[in-house]
Amino acid sequence: MKSIGAAVFFVVDKIDILKKVPIFGDLSDSDLRSIVDKMVSHTYKKGQIILMEDSIGEHCFFLTRGKVKITRLSSDGREVILALLASGDFFGEMSLLDGESRSANVVALENTKALTLNMEDFLTALEMYPKVAINLLRELAVRLRKSDEQIASLSLSDAERRIALSLLRIAEEQGIIHQGHVTVNPLPFQQDIANMAGTSRETVSRTYGLLEADGYIDRDGRKLVIMDYDRFLSDFS
């Protein structure tokens, strides 16, 4: 009797956890239950490799606790971070959708928990619950947009990149963070930033224009706002 009670409690608990994964947010409890029944819980220690690039994809992962980094190796052997994902995010869907091998490594940055679905159950869930499929597409559009921004930022020259890094340093030291924005007020003079970045004042002024046009920063006199600190950090650091 006791063990039946415990089992029921476990299923309900998993549904509550799954409700915090936004792509399942629109489903009723009974729909969630039918998905959760097929899921398996996993835990990973900080630093553990969860997925290896080029391996065969068999499961999709839904993060319920912790953080992971998505990485690839550059041609000269450096680790490139493509994205940081946190509780509520999913990963591992790409190879299940296109049948190719894993596109990147996934490494736990903290002790992490995930629920997984195997390929068949994942594809069946997308077919049965169009809302889940649309939510997944929406998130993939967000990720593609971020990648596009990252590609655009790669076209910055070394000097422009050093200026962005100087802004990051100043933001870390003097900025006030509020809901993802970081405000620096007053911002050091352009000549001081130029000296920090080893470039000219004119290049600083031009780079501000580029960063503003791309929506990275907003300026008002000597006040500078980094609009999305995480995005700035991941694109320039």
Choose, by CB under 6 A, the member of 39, 104, 108, 114 that binds ligand CMP. Answer: 104
- Nearest approach in angstroms of CB 95 to ligand CMP is 3
Choose, by CB under 6 A, the member of 91, 129, 216, 229 that binds ligand CMP. Answer: 91
| Contact between 102 and ligand CMP per CB under 6 A | yes
| Contact between 160 and ligand CMP per CB under 6 A | no
Q: Which stretch binds ligand CMP (CB under 6 A): 37-45, 96-104, 167-175, 204-212?
A: 96-104
Nearer to ligand CMP, 117 or 193 (CB): 117
Choose, by CB under 6 A, the member of 57, 164, 168, 224 that binds ligand CMP. Answer: 57
CA distance 69 to 85: 6
| Contact between 103 and ligand CMP per CB under 6 A | yes
| Contact between 62 and ligand CMP per CB under 6 A | no
Exposure string (b/e) for 187-214, b if CB count within 10 Å is 16 or more?
bbebeebbebbebeeebbebbbebbeee
Choose, by CB under 6 A, the member of 50, 92, 168, 193 that binds ligand CMP. Answer: 92
CA distance 207 to 200: 11
Nearer to ligand CMP, 11 or 144 (CB): 144
- Nearest approach in angstroms of CB 106 to ligand CMP is 6
Element (H, E) at 94: helix 93-98
| Contact between 94 and ligand CMP per CB under 6 A | yes
Please list, in sequence order, all residues whose beta carbon lies within 8 angstroms of the beta carbon of residue 207, skipping any fewer than 6 positions away. Answer: 156, 159, 160, 163, 164
Report how far Cα 39 is from the mean position of its chain's Cα atoms: 23
| Contact between 123 and ligand CMP per CB under 6 A | no
The count of C-alpha atoms lying within 13 angstroms of the C-alpha of 42, restricted to the half-sphere facing its C-beta, is 18
| 67 exposure class (CB count in 10 Å sphere: 0-12, 13-18, 19+) | middle
Nearer to ligand CMP, 84 or 159 (CB): 84
Nearer to ligand CMP, 94 or 233 (CB): 94
Amino acid identity of 52? M
Amino acid identity of 84? L
Report how far Cα 140 is from the mean position of its chain's Cα atoms: 11
Give the interface with ligand CMP as residue ranges (CB under 6 A).
51, 57, 70, 82-83, 91-95, 102-104, 106, 143, 147
